[in-house]
Amino acid sequence: MPLYKTIIIDSKTTVKIWNITESYEKLMAPLDLKQTSLKRVLGMRSALHQRGFLSVRHLLRAFGYTDQDLFYDGHGKPYLKDGKNISITHSFTFSGVIISDKEVGIDIEKQRDKIVRIADKFVSYEFQYLDKLAPCYVNRLTIIWGIKESLYKLFATPGMLFKTHFLVIPFMVNDATTVAWIDYEEKKYRYNASFLEFEGFTCAYVVS
């Protein structure tokens, strides 16, 4: 069982990360999927996406839930039947789930140099403290992207833009935490953001 890491943030909030090493068949075997979930996974053309989808269901099991407990609203935001908040992510060979009584969001990203080419699309204020020549530039950009993606998942409001509406306070890679803001429709929302790196990946999550 490749449960890679468990992070207990507080008594009400936990993150679990899965290292996806199993085959599609091994992941599928013990699961009892809803018909909608089964149709969705069978319709995926990528085996990597299928395994990511199924690994999330294994993470649910690690929390004591099943696929039957998970549903989505009209914006694609996941919810649990017992009312707890959940956020889900998967990237290549890792997946993650955060569950809490509070509003939460999570994202896992593979650290890749190509993020430099798209930085202008999601970074604005943060350029004031980023050093483009620093060896950790890709890492810091990946953290910023992960935090903003987590904010987007938490808020789940169509029309929000990473560059315009999300802001990440200055941090260093070793800090592990920072503060992030949403500035949207003349209202400001503050969130605690955390991040960690492992095996060439970055995980970021935000908690209200």
What's the predicted TM-score (pTM) here? Answer: 0.95
Domain locations in the chain?
3-106, 109-199
Half-sphere exposure at residue 21, Cβ-oriented, CA atoms within 13 angstroms: 7
Architecture of domain 3-106: Alpha-Beta Complex (3.90)
pLDDT at 114: 97
Task: Quote the CA–CA distance of 68 and 71 in Å, as a whole number.
Answer: 8
Residue that is written with structure tokens 């080419």 in the block: 117
Average pLDDT along the chain, 208 residues, taken 10 residues at a time:
91 97 95 94 94 97 96 90 96 97 97 97 97 96 98 89 95 96 92 97 96
Angle ∠(124,126,128) on CA atoms, nearest 5: 100
Residue that is written with structure tokens 């990360």 in the block: 17
